[in-house]
Amino acid sequence: MIRFKWLAISLAFLTTFAVAFALGRCTGAKVPARLPSRYDPQYTLPVTVDTKYVPMPRDTVRIEVPAEIDTTAILAEYFSKHIYRDTLRASAPGKLGGSAEAIVVDTIAQNVIAGRSVRLTFTPNRLATVNSVGVLSTFGLNHMAIMAEYRYDRWAFYAGYNFTEHAPLAGVGYRLFRW
């Protein structure tokens, strides 16, 4: 029975990886032999010209600041990265119900979202003891990927596709502890 489970897990993992690879080969754009890098001297950023003329003020009135301002602390706060993690859980009632968990991790830097990771996991009741199925999506400034996840006991198997690099992804994880 255990041998059949591992065979089914391996077969599902390899099938998902093959589908992701075929999807990438069929839908991927033709990539030149050498992609331009942002650090190459020949690389130029696309420039759009949109000139707006703003009238200059006539007078400038200086107002005394009522307290001392620590500019270094303001700049240190502005350039630091803040990571926010939000975990949402829901469960469905009934015998065939299950539970779902969504973990959203946002990285905020310089007053903008520098990166976001969303992890969705659905656990049916019949698999609640050791198995779960999930969808994982990661994206940031230069990265976007969608992956499928299968968990068996403490092991996690990932397979997916990176849309930025036009390449399939695969991975294996092991849960060390749970809280």
104 lies in a domain?
yes
pTM: 0.34
In a domain, 174, yes or no: yes
Read off the pLDDT of residues 87-145 as tens digits, 9 standing for 90 and up.
888 887 766 667 888 898 888 888 888 888 888 888 776 544 556 777 777 777 777 88
Confidence of residue 34 (pLDDT cuts 50, 70, 90): low
In a domain, 99, yes or no: yes
Question: Do the domain assignments include residue 8?
Answer: yes
Which structural domain, as residue segments, surrounds residue 109?
Answer: 1-26+79-179
**Amino acid 31: pLDDT:** 53
- Residue 62 within a domain: no
Ordered alpha helix ranges (H), the chain: 2-27, 71-79
Rounded-to-10 torsion of CA 74, 78, 82, 86: 100
Contact 94, 115 (CB under 8 A): no
Residue 25 burial (10 A CB sphere; 0-12, 13-18, 19+) = exposed
Q: Cα torsion for 142, 29, 171, 106, to the nearest 10°?
A: 30
pLDDT of residue 41: 61
